[in-house]
Structure 1
Amino acid sequence: MSLDFDRRFPRFQIGREDRVTIDGQAFRLGYMMQDAYALVPTEGEGAAQVFEFGHLNRLNAAGKVRHEIEYFLPKELRTRRQPSGGTGSSLATLTPGQRARIDQRYALVEAFDEVRAEGVMQMTDDSIEAHMDDICRRASAYLADQVDPELEWRKQQAAAGKGRKPKGGGTLQMVAPVHPTTLRRWVARVARFGKAGLIDRFSNRGNRTSYFTAEENALLGKTVRESYLTLNRAPMSKTVTDVQRAFRKENADRLADGRPKLRVPSREAVRQCIKSFSRFEVLVSRYGEQEAMKRLRPVGRGLEVSRPFERVEIDEWKIDLVTIMAKAGMGQYFTEEDLKDLGLDDGKGRWWLVAAIDCRTKLIVGMTLTRNPKTSAAAQCLRMVVSDKGRFANAAGAKVAWNQFATPELLVSDNGAAFKSTAFTDTCATLDITLERTIAGLPGMRGHIERVFQTAATRLLPMLNGRTFGDVATRGDHPAEARACLDTEDLCYSLVRWIVDVYHNTPHEGLGLRTPLQQWESDLRDGNFPLRAAPEMRTKRCAFGLRLNRRLTREGVRVLGVRYHHEALAATVIEGGHRTVELRWDPEDLGAVEVVIDGQAHEARAVHDGFDGVDAHTWVAARRALRTKSASRKAWEEEVVFRALDDIEALNTRKQLQYGLVDKPITAERLKHLEESLFAGFHITGNTPKTRTPLDGVGRVIEPRAPEEEPQAAISQTPAAPLPARPRSSNSWTIRKPGSAD
């Protein structure tokens, strides 16, 4: 896709009731021009700002746009689930107890769907009650299986002598039965809102009887109808003002007649009154019957799709190909133990491919290679779905861009453990993606991705040496392992070039002989682009990040030797001293973490600039290079540390495909080991001035630099191409107790 095309067409729709936040400022749509959106500030006065489509698309790709569909409509009138404000779904800020309750409810819903799919249970209370024991048993087994979906695979690896036997596991947590009506309600909420629909709402509990008398309710309802339910579409704030004015006028008349005054409704009372009207009645009154029917039309269900990213299918496929595990290509980033865990040690083996396809355009929008189908690989593939994949196409030398991405409305998978895990369902809920699993034994319900795998097996694999074929009869005497000459980098290169340059540009029967790329460009030209933007960086961090507990001190929090701080963290220490806080840490970007304090998430940035966009494996490799140069040294200056990072990233560019597409998760256990063995006592200091003022005050004295501050020789024998200089500064907060001396 040309740059000119990208400048002329947007990648997501901004509706009249949507809120778009860019660089911390909230906007709503003013009007749409030929090649730009005119957005007006939502608060205060200000002129409209024009965002050209090309600029807006770049901001979207960088994760700097938060898009909230139908934000300005009351919640009851919204036609689809909404992303939560701030950092994504509130799942990121739940307590462990709340998450445990949600997981139990979700397990019951999964078990209910499984029993119902077998055709042995009806939707009546009596039938559900009769099968409740079976539902609870299946839910308990589901929970035990999904707390750690990689546990069974690790046990099998240990039994084969390929690793240590994992600790724990095997404890079956029994799920208590619930009333059939309650279970049906949970099933309905999951169907409509996904897993996030099961979040506790204790704050909404209490007396639900009306606070007002019959006269007060009558006047309130009458005024709301006259003010809010009109084609003028008055905002709620004006309706609140109209209600209070009507009550003041009525009270003046009652005071003159000697009658008692009416209680004036609050803003919340007016909002609850508006919610009491049916959705259809409100839409017809404010938008007209035709628009109401359009807004209430069901979307996001069924196999018929009308726009890109309305339905995305994800699945895993064991590639019929033996490849050489390219140990040398990854040696800069991993130890021997790491390579063994990832299956990248010496020898030959086969890969699993986790891939995702957009059902409207048939574009492949995500792909990850893994040695076994784990949750981490599924999450990495989903991350590619919502991210720009241009760097992979560039690394492979593709002739066409791979920049199709957005937030899917519906994600369809099979019943594999990776897609059923608590971690993956939490990720989808945080991104506000509806997750739907097909019925076991019916792969045709996700036929689009199945056909892609068949196409790859018949058109790509025959061109590659080392093919194993799908079965013994088909393979015959073909010497697959003897002919295996592709390493991991070769496989990644072949897959990306075939996907981007061949498959995306091959006429597709299901598209009327259009190519997937032509269908995508046609939809963008026709204004039929995805409804939702890609998630912003903070939402990605909450969705894909690792949940950790860290000690909050005067210096902030530390993860993998990197210190993070924020004004809110400093204030917390002043008020309550040191404490343990929960945070979300994204191994793909060490520039910031999300710290949860009292149910509120705060973005704490790295104190030392230069970690933006740096992933954990690159940082660990840089630290190893520093330690190789000086094993006993713990304090390193900023300049030396980031020079080592630059050198490692230069190597990364030469192995970008293999490094970026292979699943390489960092678990909490692995992170703890790295911090204890590699980062214990490690810290970064400010740069030492290269010159100083002499005693006589005349001129400057040049300070010599110690030779051990140059770690590059420990990283590579071949000097890497210089990278653009990183910004160097230090962000810090000085914390003092109230009343302390400066």
Structure 2
Amino acid sequence: MTLRFRFSNSDMITTAGVAMRPLEIDDKGGTFERVGQPGITEAFSHQELAEMMRRPDTTYFAGYFDRATQEAHRDKPVQVISELSEKTARLVIWRKAVCDAFLALEAAGLVKRTQRAYEQAKAQLASVTARLVGEGAAAFAKIRPGKEIKIRKLPGSRTVLQWVRSYQAAGYSALSLIPATHLSGNRSRRWCPKAEALMNQVIEIYADTQRPPKVQSIQETRALFIEENARRTSAGATLLTIPSASSVKRRLDSADPFYVCAKRYGATAAARKFAMSSNGPDVVRPMERVEMDENKLDVMSLLTLTGIWDPASELRSKRLCSRRSTPPKRRSQK
């Protein structure tokens, strides 16, 4: 018997780097349209769909194009929970269990959205949450008898009610429960070289003699990502992650203010605006005052900024990335 899947028009499937959305599902199979390429459709039988869903390069996004889901995806670093680290994913699943437990107790009339009612039902809420977590992906697997198990403590009513409201507003998507600080302290490179190059375009777009506003420059930069993804979709390549407006704004704010002012208003105006207003440190002898400045910069970011990376071949880029991630071997001293 062929396994059949139920798709809605708001779902999305990505397979082999190609994103598609269902147009029509019937007894024979389904017709899908490529995202970003209106009119380009493909028909699959139920057998072909079942085989495609089992492939490791296929990802299914339920309700991806729903407004609530799009709101949940906005400014979020991932599209699915499985892309998070194990520690963060378990935290998100536990928060989801808290929200589900609260909504279940609220539907049964055992708790209300007040601080007093929450404190009275807190013990029962913790019990239902522990049961839901024990049955879900955040359960403690293969725990030996006698081994200590850590249980999370429920927060206050204000925090839990905020989780519940965000959870409901996002169409009960767990993405809304991702902590905003889960990437704090991460200094690793988050964008591929092509994305870095497109991100830096916001500086050149804004630093123009026509003096476009920041909002327009950010929108045009994000449009470059959409155009690049459309080209990659037709070529069957991996899609780029479209940065949020706040990420593009941070990149624009990191630009050299003198360079931006000189491009927008002219070198004379920039020299006048950034002229020194004092004589600087007053010293008498050489080496009386020594200043040092250092900054750690990813070499790939430097190559992208200088344009050296652009003519590099794809194979050479992969080799450089692999060398970057592999630590050098130390020679043994005899």
Task: Indicate whether the TM-score tops 0.5.
Answer: no
Larger Rg: 1
| Greater strand content | 1
**TM-score normalised by structure 2 residue count:** 0.40
Taking CA–CA contacts closer than 8 Å with sequence separation of 6 or more, which of the two structures ends up with the larger relative contact order? 2
